Amino acid sequence: MDNIVGRLQENVETIIYSVFIRWFVHFYTQYLVVMHTMQEVIAILGRVIKGVGGSFLVDVDQQIVNCKSRKSVKYTSGNLAIGDYVEVTDLGNNTGVIEKIQKRRNSFLRPTVANIDKAVILISSIPRPDFYLIDKMLVNLAIMDIKVYIVVNKSDLDVMDLFKKVQFEYEKQVEKVMLMSTVTGQGIAEFEAEIEGGLSCLIGQSAVGKSSLINILKPTAKFEIGDVSKNNRGRHTTRHVEIVQMKNSTYMIDTPGFSFLEIDIDPKDLAIYYFDFGELMHKCKYTRCVHINEPDCEVLRAIEKGELSQDRYDRYNFLFDELMIKWRKKYG
């Protein structure tokens, strides 16, 4: 009798164990399927093209998805930037949730943009260019290894003196200096060919023609165009940052003005990012020459000979002094 009971007990335990194993395998398999499906959904990759009021428009394979961002994204990666590549959970009906920001190649805080391939600095005689600000922009862009183009707009006006000045001061610093008119169309085709492919960021004071240029390249954009005030300063018309697809794989960002953060580098490294100085630095007497008052400085010789711009060099001195003051305050 005891043997029979023992065998029955063993059989019951075997059955229970077998049922448990089957149950576990079934539900674990379902769990893996669900997790795999979720990973596939989360792995949808898109690019933030616009942000307004806590919502973000994300381009996912040419489809625009209206997304909210999880709070955890801000805590782990900081604020979202226009141009960010993000991982999105698709909720259907062209809505989604931003789960993660992918690593950025570069980024700026004012305006908040990221992953820029090219920068286009647009200037004109009216409003008058701020060359010191342009120099600071160029240093920041050089630090981030971003290709830069300078475009002198409004060639239908009297800008040839300005164009020649810009050419002389910056032709060795940037990829190209171009002359253009959004009124007559001069230089538009050349400009379009230069920026083909990738994401270009338009940089410039208000009323230099940024919105007009985008409207020419993409007539359906219909960006509002500003004018110049009585004191020759531009009026802001662009109120948000937005990526606009031009054609094929060419994209452009129009920004409401552009204000770079202050430069945070060792003042002695400033000259590295002045490419027109770089061609001469190896001829200076001192390896770490900063081109201020060192003897046998080839850059200073070039200034004296008129081979480099005195105005640009004077602004370099001013920026060097500014950085030196900040450096001493920071490090003593």
Q: Distances in Å between the alpha carbon of 34 and those of 31, 38, 39, 98? A: 5, 6, 9, 19
User: What is the model's pLDDT at position 140?
Assistant: 92
Query: Is 45-101 CATH 2.40.50.140?
Result: yes
Look at residue 226 and tell me whether its pLDDT is greater than 60.
Answer: no
> Counting runs of H as helices and runs of E as strands, what totals does the chain give?
9, 13
Residue 14 pLDDT grade (very low, low, confident, very high; cuts 50, 70, 90): low
Torsion of CA 200, 101, 69, 83, to 10 degrees: 0
User: What is the model's pLDDT at position 43?
Assistant: 59
Write the DSSP string, 237-298. Answer: ---S-EEEEEETTEEEEE-SS--PPPP-S-GGGGGGG-HHHHHHHTTSSSTT--SSS-TT-H
* Nearest of 96, 90, 177 to residue 129 by alpha carbon: 177
Domain 109-254, CATH among 3.50.90.10, 3.90.110.10, 2.60.40.1220, 3.40.50.300: 3.40.50.300
| Mean pLDDT of the region 84-103 | 93
User: What is the model's pLDDT at position 3?
Assistant: 57
Burial label, 167 (beta-carbon count in 10 A; 0-12, 13-18, 19+): middle
**Residue type present at position 214:** I
Alpha helix positions (H), 112-249: 131-143, 160-170, 188-194, 210-217
Q: Alpha-carbon distance 328 to 293, whole Å?
A: 20
Task: Kindly state the DSSP code that residue 139 receives in the 8-state scheme.
Answer: H
Residue 232 pLDDT grade (very low, low, confident, very high; cuts 50, 70, 90): very low
pTM for this entry: 0.80
User: What is the model's pLDDT at position 305?
Assistant: 96
Tokens 């806590």 correspond to: 54
User: What is the model's pLDDT at position 234?
Assistant: 43
| Mean pLDDT of the region 25-52 | 68
Look at residue 240 and tell me whether its pLDDT is greater than 70.
Answer: yes
* 15-19, 77-81, 162-166, 209-213, range with the lowest pLDDT: 15-19
* 135-139, 156-160, 227-231, range with the lowest pLDDT: 227-231
User: What is the model's pLDDT at position 7?
Assistant: 58
Report the CATH number of the 267-331 domain: 1.10.40.50
Q: What is the mean pLDDT of the chain?
A: 84
Residue 272 pLDDT grade (very low, low, confident, very high; cuts 50, 70, 90): very high
Residue 300, number of CB atoms within 10 A of its CB: 19
User: What is the model's pLDDT at position 230?
Assistant: 47
User: What is the model's pLDDT at position 269?
Assistant: 95
105-117: pLDDT as tens digits:
998 877 789 999 9
50-91: pLDDT as tens digits:
988 789 999 999 899 999 999 888 766 778 999 999 999 998
* Nearest of 62, 59, 174 to residue 122 by alpha carbon: 174
